[in-house]
Amino acid sequence: MNLNDIISANLKKLRTDRNLSLGQLFELSGVSKVMLFQIEKGESNPTINTIWKIANGLQVTYTSYIHCINESSWYFIL
């Protein structure tokens, strides 16, 4: 599983666990619905700034996006 797949899966899980639509997450984060959709589909490599905005909107830690759900390893963006 690569970093893009991890971010994609984590974003979708965090959003759906909170019963939020893409539009609602846009309102919370300021990240466009198109960008959110592309990130969830693994079609975009979000910047650190974008991940930070989404994390703030969802009120989760930045590292929530880079933790691998299916493995016990961590991936860091440097």
Structural domain boundaries of the chain? Answer: 3-65
Q: What is the pLDDT of residue 32?
A: 97
Comparing C-alpha atoms, which of 4, 6, 18 is closest to residue 70? 6
Cα-trace Rg, the chain? 11
> Rounded to the nearest 5°, which phi and psi values hold at 67?
-80, 130
Residues 6+ apart with CB under 8 A from 72: none
Comparing C-alpha atoms, which of 61, 51, 58 is closest to residue 17? 58
Looking at 3.40.250.10, 3.90.79.10, 1.10.260.40, 3.30.1600.10, the CATH number of the domain 3-65 comes to 1.10.260.40
pLDDT in tens, 16-71: 999 999 999 999 999 999 999 999 999 999 999 999 999 999 999 888 777 665 55
Q: Give percent of the chain with pLDDT exceeding 70.
A: 81
Report the predicted TM-score, pTM, of the whole model to 2 decimal places: 0.81
